């Protein structure tokens, strides 16, 4: 197994399309790193450059202790799993699994042993004689993963491998890929646009936007300490609420003021927020940090505002409340047994100790 590092890679496609801009990233041996971001952010292009399917316009790509920029894909000792499975339709699962090994003239016994091991790991032993069209989406994806496993590559690369599966199968395969990583102890780089997939699978997550890395961190750090408004809004579901307003000072207290309401800022944040006195900022608060006043003991006039419920979305264990206060709309995530109705007046309490503030112009985090 091996570490992977990319150093200042840029990819410019014809027509001056800058798909990836000055990306640097080190992936440790045995690490599971997820590249995540919205469509077009350059995550697939980054992966394809590591795979050797796309040539970097500039920068270096290292696998193990070798710079591989000029090494063809087939000689990079990586295996890639694609979204569309890319199985050969006329071959059985066994033949698909063994294809790369046969091509490399592996001895028959070795091929058999590797295919059987992979089939065992993935639970597809009984399906080996079937052709792809005789398999479900999930089974096809297992064969595609198996084809990577048999090669015992230094690095596994996954490009949105679960996108074509239904929601339930996606969750199941997510768990299986996690187990596979633990079992194989290999370096894996995984691309997805789905933040839940990223959060549940990666040791570390790389958030990209417009070809540029925004933040690299473990899932909890990304969630709790996003570096900017984009990361804060991208990670988490339902997403963080953003409310425009400004910082004001009354007496010796600082408040965040929207046109229709204000909340007091916790003292711990004064040192950083005082520089923004009188300035426009964005207040960020996660749905789980907004509560119905009835259910909290820490409510005070400083952190309670009057709101109206606009939509009630019962999810079972919890309810998403779409509420409106002042000129702002936001989502609160409350207990599944709370009783709420559309158009109901509601006193909501912000847990301001969990709030974030972003610079209005640069969108960089203040706190
Ligand atoms: P998605 O989730 O939609 O696959 P992505 O984040 O993986 O998106 P990329 O496929 O890496 O994004 O594409 C990044 C940018 O590069 C996009 O603007 C895309 O249109 C452009 N791009 C990708 N491949 C090519 C190509 N072969 N020629 C020209 N432009 C391309």
Q: What is the pLDDT of residue 85?
A: 87
Q: Count Cβ atoms below 10 Å from residue 188 Cβ, excluding itself.
A: 25
Ligand 1 midpoint to CA 62 (Å): 22
Alpha carbon nearest to ligand 1 atom 2, residue = 39
Say how many CA atoms lie within 13 Å of 298 toward its Cβ: 10
> Which residue, judged by its Cα, is nearest atom 28 of ligand 1?
13
Q: What is the chain's percent helix, strand, coil content, to nearest 5?
A: 30, 35, 35
Question: What residue owns the CA closest to ligand 1's atom 10?
Answer: 44
Does residue 304 line the site of ligand 1, with CB under 6 A? no
Residue 290 token pair: 């907004």
Distance from the CA of 233 to the center of ligand 1, in angstroms? 22
How many Å lie between the centroid of ligand 1 and the Cα of residue 208? 13
Burial-class residue 70 by CB neighbours within 10 Å (0-12, 13-18, 19+): exposed
Atom of ligand 1 nearest to the CA of 41: 6
Nearest residue (by CA) to ligand 1, atom 24, is 45
Ligand 1 atom index nearest CA of 211: 14
In the numeric block, the tokens 């795979």 are attached to 51
- For the chain, give the percent of residues with pLDDT over 90: 90
Give residue 164's pLDDT. 86
Q: How far apart are CA 284 and CA 306, in angstroms?
A: 18
Regions of the chain with pLDDT less than 70: 1
- DSSP-derived 3-state class of residue 220: helix
Q: Are 287 and 351 in contact (CB under 8 A)?
A: no
Is the backbone peptide bond immediately before 133 cis, with ω within 30 degrees of 0?
A: no
137 lines ligand 1 (CB under 6 A): no
φ/ψ region of 123 (left if φ > 0, alpha if ψ in -120 to 50, else beta) reads left
Atom of ligand 1 nearest to the CA of 48: 11
Closest CA to 149 of 192, 126, 189, 115: 115
Centroid of ligand 1 to alpha carbon of 19 (angstroms): 6
For 65-96, the pLDDT digits (tens) are: 999 999 999 999 999 999 888 899 999 999 99
pLDDT of residue 37: 98
Which pLDDT value is given to residue 165? 86
Nearest CA to ligand 1 atom 9: 42
**pTM confidence score:** 0.95
Task: Note the pLDDT of residue 1.
Answer: 63
Q: What does the DSSP 8-state code read for residue 269?
A: G
Question: Quick one: pLDDT at residue 251?
Answer: 95
Q: Report whether residue 49 contacts ligand 1, using a CB cutoff of 6 Å.
A: no
C-alpha to C-alpha distance for 186 and 200, rounded to whole angstroms: 17
Question: Pairing mode, if any, of strands 253-257 and 241-250?
Answer: antiparallel
């Amino acid at each position: 197994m091996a570490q992977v590092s990319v150093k200042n890679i840029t990819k410019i496609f014809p027509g001056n399309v800058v798909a990836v801009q000055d990306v640097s990233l080190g992936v440790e041996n045995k690490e599971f790193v997820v590249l995540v971001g919205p469509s077009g952010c350059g995550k697939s292009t980054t992966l394809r450059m590591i795979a050797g399917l796309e040539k970097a316009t500039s920068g270096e790509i290292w696998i193990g202790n070798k710079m591989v920029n000029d090494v063809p894909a087939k000689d990079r000792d990586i295996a890639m799993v694609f979204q569309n499975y890319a199985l050969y339709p006329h071959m059985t699962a066994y033949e698909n699994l063994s294809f790369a090994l046969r091509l490399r003239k592996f001895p028959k016994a070795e091929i058999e042993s590797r295919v059987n091991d992979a089939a065992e790991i993935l639970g597809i032993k009984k399906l080996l004689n079937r052709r792809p069209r005789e398999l479900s989406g999930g089974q096809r994806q297992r064969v595609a993963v198996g084809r990577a496993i048999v090669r015992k590559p230094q690095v596994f690369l996954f490009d949105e491998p679960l996108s074509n599966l239904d929601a339930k199968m996606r969750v199941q395969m997510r768990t299986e890929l996690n187990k596979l990583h633990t079992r194989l102890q290999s370096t894996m780089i995984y691309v997805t646009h789905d933040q839940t997939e990223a959060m549940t699978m990666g040791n570390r997550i790389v958030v990209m936007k417009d070809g540029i890395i925004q933040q690299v961190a473990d899932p909890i750090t990304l969630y709790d300490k996003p570096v900017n408004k984009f990361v804060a809004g991208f990670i988490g579901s339902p997403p963080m609420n953003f409310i425009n307003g400004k910082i004001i000072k009354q007496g010796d207290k600082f408040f965040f003021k929207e046109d229709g309401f204000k909340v007091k800022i916790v003292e711990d944040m004064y040192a950083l927020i005082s520089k923004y006195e009188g300035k426009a900022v964005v207040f960020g608060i996660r749905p789980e940090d907004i509560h119905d006043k009835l259910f909290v003991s820490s409510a005070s006039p400083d952190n309670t505002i009057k709101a109206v419920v606009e939509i009630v979305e019962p999810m079972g264990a919890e309810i998403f409340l779409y509420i409106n206060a002042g000129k702002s709309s936001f989502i609160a995530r409350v207990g599944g047994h709370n009783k709420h109705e559309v158009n109901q007046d509601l006193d909501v309490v912000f847990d301001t100790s969990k709030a974030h503030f972003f610079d209005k112009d640069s969108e960089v985090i203040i706190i």
